[in-house]
Amino acid sequence: MYSLEVKNLTKTFDKLVAVDNASFEVPDGSIFGLIGRNGAGKTTTIRMMMGIYLPDNGEVVLKGVKVGQEFKNRVGYLPEERGLYKKMKVLETLLYFAEVKGKSGREVQKKADEYLKKFDLYDRRLSKIEDLSKGNQQKVQFIATILHAPDFIILDEPFSGLDPVNTNLLKDIILEMKQRGKVIIFSTHLMDFAEKMCDHIAMIDHGKIILKGSLKEIKSKYAQRNVSLSYEGDISFLKGNGIVEKIENYGNTTGIRVKDANQTQQLLKMLVENNIVVKKFDANDISLQEIFIELAGKNEDSTNFVMLNKKEAKNV
């Protein structure tokens, strides 16, 4: 069952089509990833889902009903560009964010205290935001996102600018929310990360959805004839070999595509015969990055993007 459906969203700024007829479905209880490089239209899509931008066309539907303020109140939203009122106190900030979501009173206050204790911020609850470290400010931001007990959590590039400790903290929050049956939607340009966390994805490029569905299905569909390989040695002899269609170096692993699905064993044999130390040989496996490049990466900048992406992903 789909909890949220995005139907034919389109948004144009001047002459630039930021999102072009984008449709995808978010299933109940899933972690959903909206994946694409910077400028692909992820943020615009999410802003339209949140009602921050009005779409030129299309709609977002929740259980058959077009979303509005009611939906907004049920969402915890963490934008990529996020900030807090510097002069406000920690507890004040949290209560204010809950209040504009329609939650106020003693219960929220109690819950805020609980979260503050959990995140080691209880003794700072009366400090001004500007007196907190950046890491602690991010924690306050997380609490503000989930304090009103949302059913949906929408995160735009959630891991940009987080330190490793907070990255793990946010991961835990996401997984905990999933266990509680909440729907988590996030956008990212970090393929590795999406691959680890998501059950469902939609891939967006130049404003168009180029791929969507369950991650498992997508992978098995694209994985045939693919081998992901870790090795030591020189594999340049494979270039121009009759059974190899394509070799792609992704840094840690190399993706090799054979011409026919039953040629993978032959490839392994060749590697061993050529004294290559095979550390990992994973037939029928493909990374999201490879899929992305195959679909979107027919030009220069997507290869650059993937290389860059690789570096950033190490931090996650």
Partner 1 sequence: MFNYRVFAVIKRELMEKLFSKAFIAMTLLVPGFMFVILGIQALLMTSESKNLKIELISENQTLTNSLQNEMQSNGLVKEGKYLFYFSTLNREEFKKYLEQKKEQLQDEKILGGIIYVPSSAMKDKKIEYYAKSAKNISLFRDLDGPINKALIDTYFGKANLTKEELDFARMGVDFTGFKVLMDENIKEEGYGNMVLAYLFTFLLYMSMIMIGQMTMQSVIEEKSSRIVEVILSSVSPIELMAGKILGASITGVFQMAIWLSPVILIISTSWFVLPKELIFDINGTVIVYMLINFFIGLITFIGLFAMIGSIFDNPQDASTGTLPIIMLIMIPFFIAISMMENPNRPIAEIASLFPFASLIVMPAKLTLVGAPLWQLGLAIVINILTFLAIFPVAGKIYRVGILRTGKKPKWSEVVKWLKYKY
Give the footprint of partner 1 on this chain (CB under 8 A): 13-14, 47, 50-54, 56, 69, 72-73, 75, 77-79, 81-88, 96-97, 99-102, 141, 144, 154
Q: How far is the CB of 214 from partner 1 (least distance, A)?
A: 28
Q: How far is the CB of 13 from partner 1 (least distance, A)?
A: 8
Smaller CB separation from partner 1, 81 or 273: 81
Distant-in-sequence, close-in-space partners of 144: CB < 8 Å, separation ≥ 6: 84, 93, 94, 97, 98
Smaller CB separation from partner 1, 99 or 245: 99
Cβ-contact 64, 211 below 8 angstroms: no
What distance in Å separates the CA atoms of residue 269 and residue 278, rounded to the nearest whole number? 11
Smaller CB separation from partner 1, 154 or 215: 154
Q: How far is the CB of 10 from partner 1 (least distance, A)?
A: 11
Smaller CB separation from partner 1, 86 or 269: 86
Q: Give the three-state DSSP class for 120.
A: coil
Smaller CB separation from partner 1, 46 or 229: 46
Q: How far is the CB of 69 from partner 1 (least distance, A)?
A: 8
Q: How far is the CB of 83 from partner 1 (least distance, A)?
A: 4
Q: What element of type H or E holds 172? A: helix 164-179
Smaller CB separation from partner 1, 153 or 258: 153
Q: How far is the CB of 19 from partner 1 (least distance, A)?
A: 13
Q: In this structure, what is the dihedral angle of CA atoms 78, 79, 81, 86, given to the nearest 10 degrees?
A: -40
Instruction: Report the b/e string of 114-128 with b at 16+ CB within 10 A.
Output: ebbeebebeebbeeb
What distance in Å separates the CA atoms of residue 253 and residue 290, rounded to the nearest whole number? 11
**Short-list 161, 159, 177, 166, CA closest to 139:** 166
Distant-in-sequence, close-in-space partners of 99: CB < 8 Å, separation ≥ 6: none
Smaller CB separation from partner 1, 69 or 299: 69
Q: How far is the CB of 176 from partner 1 (least distance, A)?
A: 21
Handedness of CA 126, 112, 172, 223 (dihedral sign): negative
